[in-house]
Amino acid sequence: MALSLVGYIGVVNRSQKDIDGKKDIRAALAAERKFFLSHPAYRHMADRMGTPHLQKVLNQQLTNHIRDTLPSLRSKLQSQLLSLEKEVEEYKNFRPDDPTRKTKALLQMVQQFAVDFEKRIEGSGDQVDTLELSGGARINRIFHERFPFELVKMEFDEKDLRREISYAIKNIHGIRTGLFTPDMAFEAIVKKQIIKLKEPSLKCVDLVVSELAMVIKKCSEKLGSYPRLREETERIVTTYIREREGKTKDQILLLIDIELSYINTNHEDFIGFANAQQRSTQANKKRAIPNQVLIHIRY
């Protein structure tokens, strides 16, 4: 029995005895036809049984499949043809008898890789992806969404912070009872918060480097016809980025160490005792102005 997309089609194959007896295909088909016409279970459907009918059905299915897939296959072939024609056009200035043609082709491919890499980062590429973010857009999202999110996750608990401040003040005063809050307690708490910036900052660098690696892979696809050139290009660029990654992390750690080394309490954004007193005075003056106007009107 043969199973098709339209049901079962019965066939009668030659037995080993028929093969040993040199029974040819024509005689086997005639015996098959006679079997279905004479068998009470298949007599009423004999026209839909047998090898000839199976052949007809399979041919029809093959024809339908070709008809359904041919348009997409034609479109794919045309797209590949246009791509190859464009690639050939890029090398039209290279003559086979030119001894420097290999060097010129190599330089052109490397330059094209550099241009594609820059366009993907800057966002000025010829082909714009409308399905997902890519290249520079993903890096932008890391800076403006992922990094702030990592900072928000490390927000401190107010109760824990108050307890830490209290412990710091008491430990600095020791057995003495202090009148004012010591600067050392403030610096100890602030420095602890600054140190927490290290992890999300370094993680941000890791995420950006990962995105750059993906951009390198994408841009090197045009070098696919030259596997060794593609591999070497990826290796050189990736090695350079890894070197810059290390220097970037060192710079971040240095910047955090600089912030830890000196806390500028004279900065205008810092709300210390002097600034707090000044803001309080200004607020009191603003509240006093309506009362003065009201008194003047009454007189």
| pLDDT recorded at residue 294 | 42
Spell out a b/e string for 162-196, using b for 16 or more CB atoms within 10 Å of the CB, else e: eebeeebbeeeeeeeeeeeeeeebbebbeeeeeee
pLDDT at 260 over 80: yes
Lowest mean pLDDT among 176-180, 186-190, 192-196: 176-180
Q: pLDDT tens digits, residue range 132-164?
A: 677 788 889 999 999 888 888 877 666 776 777
The residue with greater pLDDT, 48 or 274, is: 48
Q: Give me Rg for the CA atoms of the chain.
A: 40
Arithmetic mean of pLDDT, 55-72:
90
Lowest mean pLDDT among 104-108, 172-176, 179-183, 289-293: 289-293
Q: pLDDT tens digits, residue range 85-132?
A: 887 776 666 666 667 777 878 888 889 899 989 988 887 656 666 666
The residue with greater pLDDT, 208 or 188, is: 208
d(CA 88, CA 112): 15
Q: Where in the chain is the domain with CATH 1.20.120.1240?
A: 103-264
Q: pLDDT tens digits, residue range 3-38?
A: 445 578 888 888 888 788 888 888 888 988 888 888
Quickly state the pLDDT bin for 296 (edges 50, 70, 90).
very low
Fold of 103-264: Four Helix Bundle (Hemerythrin (Met), subunit A) (1.20.120)
d(CA 138, CA 250): 24
Q: What sign does the CA torsion over 50, 53, 56, 57 have? A: negative
- CA within 13 Å, CB half, 170: 6
In one-letter notation, the amino acid at residue 173 is: H
Beta strand pairing call for 7-9 and 2-4: antiparallel
